């Protein structure tokens, strides 16, 4: 039980998980706003507005900076980590999502002429730069409110 108390008292972890959770809730709300349907899979899904990965790592980095100082090596490490995650979210994973979209179009075209397994690939993998920026702002805001 002592572990859970200590875990719950970790301000950095609490800021990170809160930022992630709020970002995921915002995805449900924004999906409902655009589709008029409640999609609870957005709570655990990747991609979409805002980037929960970015909110998580920016809350981490901001919390560490506030607690240990902006000049500390641990802040530098966390910021570098955050930048890699954000680059991956907006770059590599977004490219993979675009490839999945093209492959799905190819599968549909082929399916019209010849029966094939019509298994759609997941297209919502990465983020637009705007989604990453929104996640970064959310993470920074939550960390500043909680730490």
Quick: pLDDT tens for 19-63. 999 999 999 998 888 888 887 777 777 777 888 889 999 999 999
Q: Is the dihedral of CA 31, 59, 137, 97 positive or negative?
A: negative
115 falls in which pLDDT band (50, 70, 90)?
A: low
pLDDT, tens only, 59-90: 999 999 999 999 999 999 999 999 998 888 77
pTM score above 0.75: no
Structure-model confidence comparison of residues 68 and 132, the more confident one: 68
Q: CA-CA distances (angstroms) from residue 93 to 87, 101, 115, 147?
A: 9, 12, 30, 31
- pLDDT for res 8: 85
110 falls in which pLDDT band (50, 70, 90)?
A: confident
Q: Do 79 and 68 meet the contact criterion of CB atoms below 8 Å apart? A: no
126 falls in which pLDDT band (50, 70, 90)?
A: low
Q: Do 48 and 135 meet the contact criterion of CB atoms below 8 Å apart? A: no
pLDDT at 6 over 60: yes
């Amino acid at each position: 039980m002592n572990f859970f108390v200590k875990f719950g008292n970790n301000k950095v972890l609490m800021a990170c998980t809160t930022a992630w959770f709020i970002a995921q809730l915002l995805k449900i709300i924004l999906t409902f706003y655009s589709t008029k349907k409640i999609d609870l899979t957005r709570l655990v899904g990747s991609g979409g507005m805002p980037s929960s990965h970015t909110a998580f790592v920016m809350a981490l980095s901001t919390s560490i900076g506030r607690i240990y100082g902006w000049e500390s090596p641990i802040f530098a490490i966390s910021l570098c980590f955050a930048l890699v995650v954000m680059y991956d979210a907006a770059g590599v994973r977004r490219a993979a999502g675009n490839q999945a979209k093209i492959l799905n179009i190819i599968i549909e075209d082929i399916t019209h002429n010849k029966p094939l397994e019509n298994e759609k690939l997941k297209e919502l993998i990465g983020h637009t730069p705007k989604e990453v920026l929104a996640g970064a702002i959310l993470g920074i805001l939550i960390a500043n409110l909680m730490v």
